[in-house]
């Protein structure tokens, strides 16, 4: 079975379990999974139920697809994702986005927990992603191109939709939630970055750093989907503060700002 056939089979399975087709998809990062519980008329499915769908095994990722409604919109919410550092190839990491594209989803909101590189950011800040730096050393589009997914050389001059970022600003203002804007750098992981690496990232223009999102954004644009990215700054990057980093801090901070994060997401979806 080809990669395309596997994606198509998974899309057919999901389509057979939901009507109508979701318009919007939300991918939830580490510690941000509580938003899935806000979905109305929810139909949850463990990833293991869906043909070929990769597992999400990282702490803070529930590993389920939730179909339902948010603010009157038909949505697909992904509570968890696969990561490059788990040993997956990038085709597997972006499998879910391919399925969403074949389902007919038009808008994808990608969220993540990130380290703050820009020292003006603080723990718990929410950052709308304006652009990204792909420092993974690879690209999910490497290899033979399937035109049924998208063109060989897709344009990346506006990965994160200007229109959606403006909606994000408007939704944040209405909800009373502070947001900033910045550039997100994607790195391999799973080790956190060194202070020297953070100084390098700051020098080349990164405001936040994490281990996800960018491959998904590239594949979404390859398929013609509109993309919005939101980073929750769950910790300050190495060298910013005189303390070591750990995943428990990431989850604790994400939990602390969950209410603001969910209000922002609901406001954005309601404005689409």
Measured over all CA atoms, what is the biggest interatomic distance in the chain, rounded to whole angstroms? 52
- Report how far residue 77's alpha carbon sits from residue 42's, in angstroms, rounded to the nearest whole number: 10
Question: Within 13 Å of residue 219, how many CA atoms lie on the same side as its CB?
Answer: 25
Nearest 5°: phi and psi at 11?
-65, -40
224: number of Cβ within 10 Å: 12
CATH number at residue 108: 3.40.50.1580
Q: Which of 31-35, 67-71, 75-79, 214-218 bottoms out in mean pLDDT, i.e. has the lowest?
A: 31-35
The answer on pLDDT for 60 being more than 60 is: no
Model confidence at 255, in pLDDT bands (50, 70, 90)? confident
Q: Per this entry, what is the length of the chain? A: 272
**Local confidence band at 57 (pLDDT 50, 70, 90 cut-offs):** low
pLDDT at position 240: 64
Q: How many domains, the chain?
A: 1
Q: Which residues are catalytic, by number?
A: 30, 61, 83, 85-86, 113, 211-212, 235, 247
User: In this structure, are residues 94 and 213 in contact, taking their beta carbons and an 8 Å threshold?
Assistant: no
Supply the range of the domain harboring residue 261: 3-271
CA distance 83 to 127: 21
User: What's the average model confidence in pLDDT over 75-100?
Assistant: 94
Number of CB atoms found within 10 A of residue 180's CB: 18
Residue 151 CA: distances (Å) to CA of 1, 75, 141, 168: 22, 26, 10, 29
Chain segment 212-250, per-residue pLDDT in tens = 999 999 999 999 999 999 999 988 765 565 566 566 766
Question: Cβ neighbours of residue 203 under 8 Å, at least 6 residues apart?
Answer: none
pLDDT digits (tens, 9 = 90+) for 12-47: 999 998 878 899 999 998 778 789 999 999 999 999
Using CA atoms, how far apart are residues 25 and 204, in angstroms rounded to an integer? 31
Question: Can you say how many angstroms the Cα of residue 238 is from the centroid of all Cα atoms in its chain?
Answer: 22
Name 51's Cβ contacts closer than 8 Å, sequence gap at least 6. 6, 9, 10, 13
Is the model's pLDDT at 58 over the cut of 80?
Answer: no
């Amino acid at each position: 079975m080809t990669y395309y056939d596997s994606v198509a089979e998974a899309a057919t399975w999901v389509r057979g379990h939901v009507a109508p087709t979701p318009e919007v998809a939300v991918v939830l990062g580490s510690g941000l999974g509580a938003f899935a519980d806000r979905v109305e008329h929810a139909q949850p499915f463990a990833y293991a139920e869906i043909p070929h769908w990769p597992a999400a095994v990282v702490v803070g990722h529930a590993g389920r697809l939730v179909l339902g409604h948010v603010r009157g919109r038909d949505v697909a919410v992904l509570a968890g994702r696969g990561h490059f550092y788990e040993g997956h190839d990038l085709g597997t990491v972006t499998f879910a986005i391919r399925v969403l594209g074949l389902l007919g989803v038009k808008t994808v909101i990608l969220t993540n927990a990130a380290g703050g590189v820009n020292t003006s950011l603080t723990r718990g800040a929410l950052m709308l992603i304006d652009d990204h730096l792909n420092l993974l050393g690879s690209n999910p589009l490497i290899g033979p191109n399937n035109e049924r997914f998208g063109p060989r050389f897709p344009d990346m001059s506006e990965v994160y939709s200007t229109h959606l970022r403006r909606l994000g600003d408007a939704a944040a203002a209405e909800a009373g939630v502070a947001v900033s804007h910045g550039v997100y750098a994607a790195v391999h992981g799973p080790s956190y970055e060194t202070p020297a690496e953070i100084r390098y990232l700051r020098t080349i223009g990164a405001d936040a750093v994490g281990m996800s999102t960018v491959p998904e954004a590239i594949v979404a644009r390859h398929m013609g989907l509109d993309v919005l990215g939101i980073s929750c700054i769950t910790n300050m990057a190495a060298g910013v503060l005189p303390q070591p980093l750990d995943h428990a801090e990431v989850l604790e901070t994400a939990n602390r700002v969950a209410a603001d994060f969910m209000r922002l997401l609901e406001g954005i979806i309601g404005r689409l």
